[in-house]
Amino acid sequence: MIKAIVLCSGYGPRLQPLTNDKPKAMVKVAGKPVVGHIVERLIAAGITRIIVNLHYLPQKIPEYLGDKALYYYEPVPLGHHGTIKALKDWIEDDEFLVINGDTLSE
């Protein structure tokens, strides 16, 4: 089983004022938050074990995604490596991929 970590803890200061009231991953592209596109594509690819890390305005992403993902709140942003290390028990021995929550790809 493949698991996915979607990194969404950033403030998005370069996107201000778009990120004044929402995390960077919640900025809309084609009428939908970027994180929505990412999670939909993961599910379509058969990856349903998804965890999203949160920090800035942490309630916004779970309000949008609901039970499509699990959530890991970081009181202090850990960075890519720190988040993966913190989630090592969740990852266990499974294959996993890490996706930036502000990046769209096919």
User: Which pLDDT tens digit goes with each residue over 20-77?
Assistant: 999 999 999 999 999 999 999 999 999 999 999 999 999 999 999 999 999 999 999 9
Overall average pLDDT of the 3-15 stretch: 93
106 pLDDT tier (thresholds 50, 70, 90): confident
Which residues make beta-bridge pairs with 51? Answer: 5, 70
Q: How far apart are CA 71 and CA 88, in angstroms?
A: 14
Instruction: Work out the average pLDDT over 6-17.
Output: 92
